[in-house]
Amino acid sequence: MRSEKRQHDRQSFFKYMPLSTAKIVLKNSTLRWSSPTLLNDPFDVPRELFPDVSEQQVSTAFAQMLVHELKNPRDNLDELAPDIIEIVQDMRQIFPSGLSSEINLHLLNLMSIAVQTTDVLSALQELKEHWLNSLDTKRVICVSEEPDIISMWNHYADCYKGIVLEFACLDELDSVWLLANPINYTDTKPLTYSAEGLAELASRNNCWATKYLTEELMRIKTTHWAYEKEWRVSTIMNNNEEGLYSDYRFNPNELKSVILGPQFDSSELPTIISLSQKYPNVRIKRAKLTTQRELVLEVIS
């Protein structure tokens, strides 16, 4: 039966790691979930929201957004915040024939001044502080779609000497992997880097804005990283925890394969076999580089 938690149709994911890490994972049946502040890409999950955005930029961008809604009315207002919907509807009644260039400029100036007298700017500061304080409590784990990405073996599995673990997405266990979402690889900056982005977020309803900040923002990376084919699961650390990472247990039945790297030290094989014995579904495989510069997997146990 398909789990209600399942958000995709994938059957498994892969986690690249050095041999030393793999031994700990296999021994303890735990995986490390980290705060976004520990991620290796400094342009990943933002450390700060709306950096270098001034109050004047915010008020101008917010006013421009409101005028844009009046000049380019959308058919469906459901995604907008209730107060924005009310403003747009009122202004449509006041200007049923649209806005002339002269009225547009005058309205833009008035709205820019009006925004500065509202709670928008104080709300911005509160949002920035809340985000900064919450980063340490967030937990993320990163996995990949494929076990044969050569650059991943090089970067994350100790220059081909490490291991890749395959975890099955099991509906009957409500596996956490069922909640994984793919990274959005894009060179378009997130909304949280500009005054215009803030205006967009502020204009949307709470459901849309919350989903963007808590889900979508957690999985946006530039196209330079697309080779990783990364997916993520994110959560919040437990109340009794502290620090920047947590080691959470996984069900032994979820471990499907232990894949040894092309440069794996064969003298370590007995240790890996011994550590793998408590995992009922596991197969041990070896990754090999062919003369055609391809990586293939062979079952060895």
Mean pLDDT of the chain, nearest integer = 89
Residue 100 has pLDDT above 70, yes or no: no
Residue 191 has pLDDT above 70, yes or no: yes
Which two three-digit tokens encode residue 201?
A: 């977020």
* pLDDT tens digit sequence for 117-158: 556 667 677 888 889 889 999 999 999 999 999 999 999 999
Q: How many CB atoms lie within 10 A of CB 89?
A: 11
* Cα–Cα distance, 78 to 59 (Å, whole number): 24
Asked whether residue 95 is assigned to any structural domain, the reply reads: no
Split into its structural domains, the chain has a count of 1
Asked whether residue 110 is assigned to any structural domain, the reply reads: no
* Cα–Cα distance, 69 to 135 (Å, whole number): 33
Asked whether residue 17 is assigned to any structural domain, the reply reads: yes
* pLDDT tens digit sequence for 266-285: 999 999 999 999 999 999 99
Which two three-digit tokens encode residue 234?
A: 């994110």
pLDDT, position 106 = 63
Three-class SS state of 135 = helix
Q: Which of 103-117, 133-147, 172-186 has the lowest mean pLDDT?
A: 103-117
* pLDDT tens digit sequence for 219-242: 999 999 999 999 999 999 999 999
For residue 225, give its domain range.
Answer: 12-41+139-188+219-299
Which two three-digit tokens encode residue 208?
A: 């849309």
pTM for the complete prediction?
Answer: 0.88
Asked whether residue 70 is assigned to any structural domain, the reply reads: no
Which two three-digit tokens encode residue 239?
A: 């109340």
Asked whether residue 107 is assigned to any structural domain, the reply reads: no
Please count the helices (runs of H) and the strands (runs of E) in the chain.
Answer: 9, 12
Asked whether residue 7 is assigned to any structural domain, the reply reads: no
Asked whether residue 278 is assigned to any structural domain, the reply reads: yes
Asked whether residue 162 is assigned to any structural domain, the reply reads: yes
Residue 159 has pLDDT above 80, yes or no: yes
* 34: confidence class by pLDDT, cuts 50, 70, 90: very high
Give which of 28, 4, 21 is closest to 162, Cα–Cα.
Answer: 21
